[in-house]
């Protein structure tokens, strides 16, 4: 057994993993990571990336450039042109990011799951009843980005972003171990609610959720980073048009995106819990829109 395997076996023990990633001053550690990752001293950079490689499956072969000025530069790397083919079918909502598929399914009224047995509400996630009602009985999918994955996220469909709502919060780890222990975790953490309108009028909402070590969430049409130092406003008007596959922003470490679509869409056949999915691959197919009669 190698040293790496032995250490990984230790870290995969739930109690130890939870202790190391949650029973620490999370906000302080996150602020420190945001500062440390930007150090451009070559020895610090090289040692940090080497340690990162030792404990993950970090693969830089698809990166646009072959050298990095800092760990932050490596975290937020761009990929070579064509590395992520985008499904251009207008009847498909594609994955906005590289991720592991987590909880997904039909929203029960306004209730969804972070993991089996742990429900939470759209009201709490989105920060208001109006937004929750907009996705009543719709579909949701949870996409978890690990630390070694590509950290940028892209438009899942041609769309117009109407507004962004920033909700300040904690920085709990969002790995499966924490999801089994912390109720309503996504509703406790810092997050952004990105409301986007498709060409046919459907509302699609992306909720990038920050976590420990995520120094901030960057949206490339907003000048100000959304992070622990952000002081408002909470609701940010945003008139931005995207073509499917256009870059929307990035995390400064791995985290999670919850994606919501209307109830008349359907899951793509390839979507399964635990599956690794890549940017541009199908998540949802468009179904027949049925408008409920007014009561």
Between CA 147 and CA 238 the distance in angstroms is: 29
- The catalytic residue among 48, 72, 98, 151 is 98
- The catalytic residue among 154, 157, 202, 253 is 154
DSSP helix/strand/coil, 231:
coil
Beta strands in 32-137 (DSSP E): 92-94, 99-106, 111-115, 118-121
CA angle 268/274/280 to nearest 5° reads 45
158 among known catalytic residues: no
- Residue carrying the six token digits 């742990």: 118
Strand partners for 258 = 142, 207
Name which of 134, 193, 194 is nearest 169 in CA terms: 193
DSSP helix/strand/coil, 183:
coil
Between CA 207 and CA 54 the distance in angstroms is: 31
**Residues 163, 237: contact at Cβ < 8 Å?**
yes
255 among known catalytic residues: yes
- The catalytic residue among 48, 70, 95, 255 is 255
- DSSP sequence for 112-128: EEEETTEEEEHHHHHTS
CA angle 150/153/280 to nearest 5° reads 90
**Residues 211, 185: contact at Cβ < 8 Å?**
no
Residue 257 CA neighbour count, 13 Å, CB half: 28
160 among known catalytic residues: no
What residues contact residue 275 under an 8 Å CB cut-off, 6+ apart?
100, 101
Can you read off the two tokens belonging to residue 124?
Answer: 């709490």
Which of the residues are catalytic?
98, 154, 255
């Amino acid at each position: 057994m190698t040293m790496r395997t032995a250490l990984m076996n230790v870290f995969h023990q739930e109690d130890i993993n939870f202790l190391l990633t949650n029973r620490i001053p999370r906000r302080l550690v996150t602020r420190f990571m945001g500062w440390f990752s930007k150090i451009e001293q070559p020895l610090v950079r090289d040692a940090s990336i080497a340690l990162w490689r030792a404990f993950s499956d970090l693969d830089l072969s698809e990166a646009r450039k072959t050298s990095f000025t800092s760990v932050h530069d490596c975290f937020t790397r761009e990929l070579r042109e064509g590395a992520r083919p985008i499904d251009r079918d207008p009847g498909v909502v594609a994955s906005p990011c590289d991720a592991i598929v987590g909880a997904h399914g039909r929203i029960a009224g306004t209730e969804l799951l972070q993991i089996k047995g742990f429900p939470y509400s759209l009201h709490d996630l989105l920060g208001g009843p109006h937004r929750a009602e907009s996705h009543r009985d719709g579909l949701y999918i949870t996409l978890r980005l690990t630390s070694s994955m590509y950290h940028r996220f892209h438009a899942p469909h041609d769309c117009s972003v109407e507004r962004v709502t920033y909700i300040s919060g904690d920085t709990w780890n969002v790995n499966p171990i924490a999801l089994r222990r912390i109720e309503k975790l996504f509703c406790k953490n810092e997050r952004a609610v990105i409301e986007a309108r498709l060409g046919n009028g459907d509302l699609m909402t992306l909720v990038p959720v920050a976590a420990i070590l995520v120094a901030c969430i960057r949206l490339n049409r907003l000048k100000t980073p959304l992070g622990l130092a952000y002081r408002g406003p909470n609701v940010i008007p945003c008139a931005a048009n995207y073509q499917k596959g256009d870059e929307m922003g990035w995390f400064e470490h791995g985290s999670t995106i919850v994606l919501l679509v209307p109830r008349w869409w359907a899951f793509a056949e390839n979507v399964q819990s635990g599956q690794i999915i890549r940017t541009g691959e199908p998540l949802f197919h468009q179904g027949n829109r049925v408008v409920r009669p007014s009561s």
